[in-house]
Structures are given as C-alpha cells and as structure tokens.
C-alpha cells in the first residue's frame, strides 16, 4: 500500500507573482556652502535594489494573470531623473546686508509716498482755501456794489468825497473842485454820489424832509437860520456834541468841527 501524497498547494491554481521587496533610492544633498552649486543627475534604472521601480498592484486590483505577467513586463524602462539646480546662496552676513538695504529702500519709498500724500493734501486744502477766498471776495464785491447802489452807500460816498476836500479854501459862490462855499461843498459831494441837491442852502433845506435833531443820521444835512444861510454835513455824535463837516466862511477852509448852536436837521436818507 502506497502512501498518499498530498499535491503541492500551488498545483491546480496559478499563484500570483510575488513582487520582491522594494528599496527606494534617495539622494540627500548635504550642507551647501555659501557659494557652491549642486548640479547632478540621478539615474534610476530597473534592477536597482531588487527592482526599485517595479509597480506594486493596489490591494483591490484584479489578480495578475500568470500567462501575461512576468517580472520583465512589470519593470518599467530605465528612467533618468534630473536633479534640480540650486543657485548659490549668499552668506548670512551678505543676506543680512541685502535685507537691510531692502528695508532702507522700502523706508525711502514709504517716506516719498507719505511726502507725496501730504503735498497732495496741502494742495487740495490750498485749492479749497483759494476757492473759499474767491467766493468770499465775490460776495464782498457784490455786497459792496449793492451797498454803493443803496441810499446808505450813496450817502457814505458823499461823505467820502466831502472829506477829500478838507483843506480846500472857502470861496463864496464856489462849487469846486478846489474851492467851495458851504452849499457848493454839499452839492458837489452828493452829486458825485448820485444824489442831486439844489445849488444854495435855502433850497437844499426846502428839498429835504425835516427830522428831530436827536434822530439825525450820519450824512444828513444841518441847517442854520430862518431863512437858511448855512449848511453842513452831520458826521457823528462825540461826547454829546454833534460833529459836522463844512466849508465855514471866507478865510477858512473845509474842515470837521463841533456844530454851531441853533441848527436843525434835514434828512438825506428820506429824500
């Protein structure tokens, strides 16, 4: 009786190819000096470390056919992998110098940008100020023009013209421009301001409405006599005394002084 011999476990069923252990070749670059370059070529070929580039099937991949799978077919053709070229690196001291130079350059640019911003802001503010000044000037000119056209403005103009004649001599019957009698001065000044008055003081008093003396206003006329024989221009009150501008009498000149007693007021504001 012969012994029963168990068939080998591999008989009857094809065993899949067992991939040898794979060792991955790696090239590690050592410390690189400040001015060295690493230029190299690393050649990885089939057969290194027992088939280093042999592909390993995934765990859930289909079984490899014994008929079509061989060691030679699973090993990829030789590959050439070129190592990266590393440029020279500066020394720490040189790098620090470069960084400081860069920082200084950035600071310079920042200062320039800030200066430009401030200049632009100053220019903007100056433009706004100039615009406001122009508007204010235009407004003032318009107001001055409106005032000059008003009764008050005309009266102020008459006072200004009469004041310009201070020092001119009194000459009876004179109406300017370098000598005056009393009514000649008032007629000359008010005519220059656009307000027409009669030639002589009596007619001027008759042409203006009479107002109480305590209601007299700057530029109103002050008259003396009945019938009227003299006229002056009221300027202001000073220590309770009325101050007038007039051409007093022969031998005197146009001047300011305290009003004579006995006057009454004629209003140029209400004429």
Question: Catalytic amino acids?
Answer: 182, 230, 246
Angle among Cα 10, 12, 14 to the nearest 5 degrees reads 60
Alpha carbon distance 178, 185 (integer Å): 10
Q: How far apart are CA 34 and CA 167, in angstroms?
A: 99
| Phi/psi at 37 (5° precision) | -125, 145
* CA nearest to 253, candidates 205, 196, 181, 197: 181
Query: How far, in Å, CA of 208 to CA of 214, rounded?
Result: 17
Dist. CA 250–CA 163, nearest whole Å: 19
Strand partners, 222: 232, 265
DSSP for residue 213:
G
**Residues near 41 by beta carbon (within 8 Å), at least 6 away in sequence:** 80, 81, 82, 83
């Amino acid at each position: 009786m012969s012994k029963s011999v168990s068939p080998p476990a591999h008989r009857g069923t094809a065993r899949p190819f067992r991939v040898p252990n794979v060792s991955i070749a790696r090239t590690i670059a050592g410390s690189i000096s400040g001015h060295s370059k690493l230029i190299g070529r690393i050649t990885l070929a089939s057969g290194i470390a027992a088939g280093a580039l042999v592909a390993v099937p995934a765990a859930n991949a289909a079984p490899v056919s014994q008929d079509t799978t061989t060691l030679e077919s699973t090993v990829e053709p030789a590959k050439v992998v070129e190592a990266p070229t590393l440029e020279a690196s500066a020394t720490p001291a040189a790098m620090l110098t470069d960084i400081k130079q860069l920082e200084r350059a950035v600071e310079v640019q920042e200062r320039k940008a800030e200066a430009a911003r401030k200049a632009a802001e100053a220019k903007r503010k100056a433009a706004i100020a100039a615009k406001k000044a122009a508007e204010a000037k235009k407004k003032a000119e318009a107001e001055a023009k409106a005032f000059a056209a008003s009764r008050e403005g005309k009266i102020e103009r008459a006072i200004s013209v009469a004041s310009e004649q201070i020092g001119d001599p009194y000459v009876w019957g004179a109406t300017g421009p370098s000598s005056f009698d009393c009514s000649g001065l008032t007629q000359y000044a008010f005519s220059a301001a656009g307000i027409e008055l009669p030639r002589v003081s009596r007619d001027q008093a008759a042409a203006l409405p009479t107002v109480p003396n305590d209601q007299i206003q700057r530029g109103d006329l002050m008259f003396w006599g009945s019938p009227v024989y003299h006229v002056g221009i009221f300027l202001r009150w000073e220590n309770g005394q009325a101050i007038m501008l007039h051409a007093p009498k022969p031998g005197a000149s146009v001047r300011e002084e305290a009003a004579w007693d006995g006057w009454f007021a004629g209003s140029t504001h209400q004429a």
